[in-house]
Amino acid sequence: MALVTTKEMFAKALKSDYAVGAFNVNNMEIIQGIVEAAQLEKAPLILQVSAGARKYAKPAYLLKLVEAAILDTGLDIALHLDHGEDFEICRKCVDDGFTSVMIDGSKHPFEENIRITKEVVDYAHAHGVVVEAELGKLAGVEDDVKVDVRSATFTDPDEAAEFVERTGVDSLAIAIGTSHGAYKFKGDPYLDFERLKAIHSLIPDTPLVLHGASTVLREFVDKCNQYGGNIPGAQGVPEGMITEATKHGICKVNIDTDLRLALTAEVRKFLAESPAEFDPRKYLGPGRDAIKAMVQHKIRNVLNASGTM
Ligand code: G3H
Ligand code: 13P
Ligand code: ZN
């Protein structure tokens, strides 16, 4: 039981048809819900921290909570920086003891993305830390999926191969049609599986990462709305598409929005039904249970990762 890098987990996942879940964490209840689920499912686990999470909870608290989770469960866990925007935040996380960092240079031109990614790879590797980079831009819901938009923003397979070769990065996040948040598609859901297969065939040894992979299950949106929420028009990626992606080189699947919805639905329900209660444990406890159930469902039914640890 330790903080581990993603090297071994990805090597195994790459050889099989499952992916490792990478779940965003912001507080104790979220961490506890996720690790209890991974423990029950005997699945590999990545906990990831965004810049926003670092700001909200402070790095020292998150680190200590993850260390506590390892002590409590006996799991091996990878601690990952999600969407590091520059060298400095990656360096801080490496120095803090993270085992994996993402440098997200996707907003930069190709050569600049290579330059900053390489800088992070050199520093991280010298400290035994692995690096995820991103090439291509995740779709926004406003982008629809017109062919010109796709070729302008989705990951180009040849560029992906050159990028990996020149940066020495350990894993690569690609853009094939997903986007962050609860509103992913204006029309029918569409992922570019031909592009994914082309990328995977050019760089078969590179673990690929799917961001924006929440499926935004109707049941949870409806529950939020039933108890006073107003989340109109939310639409995620169909579960079957995520499972299909795990068969073509996707080794890491990023999930945040679904956890937020599961927790919020439960908290809303509790407070609506028990308006006289004001003990945070009374509503955060069920929220934690909802996270646990959601993560178990993901690991077992969407990522096919049950029993792979
Ligand atoms: O990719 C974004 C993640 O969902 C993190 O979101 O920046 O609000 O923490 P956040
Ligand atoms: P979702 O918003 O689909 O959960 O994606 C999360 C993510 O990609 C974190 O990096
Ligand atoms: Zn992301």
What pTM, to 2 d.p., does this model score?
Answer: 0.97
Q: Which of 81, 141, 214, 294 to mutate to test the pocket of ligand 2 (most atoms within 8 A of CB)?
A: 214
Gap between the Cα atoms of 289 and 291, Å rounded: 5
Distance 228 CA to ligand 1 centre (A): 24
Residues contacting residue 97 through CB under 8 Å, at least 6 positions apart: 3, 63, 79
b (16+ CB within 10 A) / e for 3-30? bbbbbebbebbbeeebbbbbbbbbbbbb
Distance 213 CA to ligand 3 centre (A): 8
In tens digits, what is the pLDDT along the chain, a chain of 309 residues?
Answer: 899 999 999 999 999 999 999 999 999 999 999 999 999 999 999 999 999 999 999 999 999 999 999 999 999 999 999 999 999 999 999 999 999 999 999 999 999 999 999 999 999 999 999 999 999 999 765 555 555 667 779 999 999 999 999 999 999 999 999 999 999 998 899 999 999 999 999 999 999 999 999 999 999 999 999 999 999 989 999 999 999 999 999 999 999 999 999 999 999 999 999 999 999 999 999 999 999 999 999 999 999 999 999
The domain locations on the chain are: 7-302
Where helices occur in 49-101 by DSSP H, the ranges are 51-57, 59-73, 87-96
307 and 271 Cβ atoms separated by less than 8 Å: no
Q: Which of 180, 184, 221 to mutate to test the pocket of ligand 2 (most atoms within 8 A of CB)?
A: 180
Reported CATH class of domain 7-302 = alpha beta
- Tally Cβ neighbours within 10 Å of residue 2: 10
Residues contacting residue 4 through CB under 8 Å, at least 6 positions apart: 76, 77, 78, 99
Q: Pull the structure tokens for residue 69.
A: 């989770």
